[in-house]
Structure 1
Amino acid sequence: MTVAVVFDSAGTLLRSYRTARDVRTGEILSDVETTLLTCLDRARVLIALNAHSRDVIGAPPDQLLSSYLCAQNIGFGVSCLRQITPHEDLARILYSDTNAMVGDLQACIRDVWGTLKEESLVVMDSGAILNLTMPGIEFTVTAGGRPFEGAKEAIADLHAMGVATFIASGDRAAKLERIADHLGIPRDQVHGIATPSIKAQIVDDLKKCYDAVVMVGDGINDLQAFRKADVAILSEQQSKEKPLELCKAADYIVGSVREVVPIIRDLSGDAIVPI
């Protein structure tokens, strides 16, 4: 049989550290789950900015973030949302915002970098949580991560078995490609800026090409993909605090990415062959 395994990135392949800043109060929320923070309010939308951390750090901190994004022609993608909203409406809110300053995002970047700077491989991604009701930027966010111990070996074992591996994540493609290169996953099998519905569609599309499609994730934004997959594996390697709905949708719950390998091996008595 032919098998494909789709991995989320943060919390699944990567040990992640995320920081958000409430732009209204200035409060820093360290090591926060940004997808859960987003899902607490139906009016919130988590977006990823196509901006490099070094460039943001070099900008004037008292400049409006919206002005900086416009001046630098920085685009964005939607990572997580609870109500469907046209991209042009989100763009209008983002690029006309008068709440967030560049300094709000700089504070997030510095907090994440200060925590992860000693790691040998660090990937970082910045964005914002828009609030459709305000409307405007409610939080600036930055996420950084490094591969979990054993992730590279797990991918190599799956490939040796003839299993195709994919990444589908709300993170920027450039960040994911660095991780994919490190892990040995082909870049053309990496899907960035994937919303929950896009992840589910990726799984559904792969089911047309493979006998079995497995989704491995760790957050509520993986729920739709879990429900589409033939097998859903929930990872608790980053955190054991999971929504009950997500746990119920999982066929397996693992504490390490390495535990995915024997599950795939035992999926069928038939030999797994590459497509």
Structure 2
Amino acid sequence: MKAAIVFDSAGTLLKVYRVARDVSTKKIIENVVSTNMVTKGRGCALIALQADSVDFLEAADPSMSISEYMACSNLGFDIICGGLKCTHERIGDAIKKDRTASMGDLKQAIEAVKLKCKDIYYLNIGLVVDVPNGAIPYVLATGGRVFPGVHGMLKRLMDAGIDVYIASGDNRKSLTSLARELGVPESNVFDAVSPEGKKEVVMSLKERYDRVLMVGDGVNDYLALQAADLGILSLQQEDMKPDILFKASDVIVDDILEVEGVVRESLHKSKK
């Protein structure tokens, strides 16, 4: 039986630390669930900035607005999640209207992550965009480390003939580094994918494999978990999970290493 397994990255393969900087109060909010911040606000979208690293922030004027910097540098963005009306064009227009969120806000968010985590992967810097009001209420930074034992688990799955994929909203550079460390072929990495994009990855793999499994931990994995032959929800990243995630999943694990046994059992049953 030809099988594939798709992993989300942040919160699934990686223990992550996320912060948001409230643009209006200039306060850092720790351990945020960025996707939940979006679902609570009507017309809000979560976007990731298309930056290979955060190094560009060092030379950026902290007083410059993010909208001005993006326009001057042609810095683009990818939509991680948002409502149906949150199109790329509308989000872009909303960003252009904002003059409050600054490059200094982004710098402070990154610094907050650095203080908490050493030797981490910088996965994403992004924004919550209030599309109807043309505002950026929060800037976001995320860093993370590979959960213990993941390297060995993935190697054993691949040695058993199971193809491993990573599908994530994170940027290409971060995911490429992660894939290299974990031994996952770079061709099996899908970066900057939206929830709909993750579902499309699963659906396309189902055309090539007898069985496709999806492992995720957040609301942006919801559609892919539903689409997979077996959806596995990981609770190891300790944050609030919406009910729809539990309903969309076939199996729930507390530790990512439990996935190996779930996969083997699922394939064994499928062969009968």
Q: Does 1:32 align with 2:38?
A: no
Q: Secondary structure at the residue paired with 1:175?
A: helix
Match of 1:12 in 2: 12
Listed one character per residue, the Cα deviations across residues 224-269 of structure 1 (whole Å, up to 9, x for unaligned) are 1111111010001111632122112211111222111111111133
Match of 1:247 in 2: 246
Instruction: Call closer, same or farther: CA 1:270–1:218 in 2, change over 3 Å.
Output: closer
Distance 2:179 2:165 in 1: 9
Whether contact under 8 Å (1:6, 1:215) holds in the other structure is yes
**1:23 Cα offset (Å):** 1.0
Instruction: Call closer, same or farther: CA 1:31–1:86 in 2, change over 3 Å.
Output: same
1:189-228 paired onto structure 2 within 5 Å: 189-228=188-227
Whether contact under 8 Å (1:45, 1:82) holds in the other structure is yes
Instruction: Call closer, same or farther: CA 1:43–1:179 in 2, change over 3 Å.
Output: same
Match of 1:85 in 2: 86
Gaps in structure 1 of 5+ consecutive residues: none
Aligned-residue sequence identity (percent) comes to 37
Match of 1:49 in 2: 49
Listed one character per residue, the Cα deviations across residues 64-92 of structure 1 (whole Å, up to 9, x for unaligned) are 11111222221111111132433222222
Match of 2:70 in 1: 69
Output the amino acid matched with 1:158: L
Listed one character per residue, the Cα deviations across residues 116-146 of structure 1 (whole Å, up to 9, x for unaligned) are 12x3x43342110111121121211011111
Moved more, 64-73 or 193-202: 64-73
Distance 2:13 2:49 in 1: 21
Gaps in structure 2 of 5+ consecutive residues: none
Match of 1:99 in 2: 100
Q: How many residues align?
A: 270
Distance 2:81 2:98 in 1: 19
Distance 1:124 1:218 in 2: 16
Moved more, 165-174 or 57-66: 57-66
TM-score after normalising by structure 2: 0.94
Whether contact under 8 Å (1:154, 1:257) holds in the other structure is no
Distance 2:180 2:81 in 1: 25
Whether contact under 8 Å (2:14, 2:145) holds in the other structure is yes
Whether contact under 8 Å (1:116, 1:122) holds in the other structure is no
Distance 1:35 1:240 in 2: 11
Output the amino acid matched with 2:201: I
Moved more, 8-17 or 27-36: 27-36
Whether contact under 8 Å (2:45, 2:86) holds in the other structure is no
Whether contact under 8 Å (2:117, 2:143) holds in the other structure is yes
Moved more, 38-47 or 228-237: 38-47
Match of 2:59 in 1: 58
Listed one character per residue, the Cα deviations across residues 1-48 of structure 1 (whole Å, up to 9, x for unaligned) are 111101011100000011111212222111111111111113111111
Whether contact under 8 Å (1:53, 1:124) holds in the other structure is no
Whether contact under 8 Å (1:79, 1:193) holds in the other structure is yes
Whether contact under 8 Å (2:93, 2:134) holds in the other structure is no
Distance 2:174 2:237 in 1: 19
Instruction: Call closer, same or farther: CA 1:240–1:113 in 2, change over 3 Å.
Output: closer
**1:55 Cα offset (Å):** 1.4
Whether contact under 8 Å (2:95, 2:134) holds in the other structure is no
Q: Secondary structure at the residue paired with 2:222?
A: helix
CA RMSD of aligned residues (A): 1.6
**1:270 Cα offset (Å):** 7.5
Output the amino acid matched with 1:86: T
Distance 1:28 1:45 in 2: 20
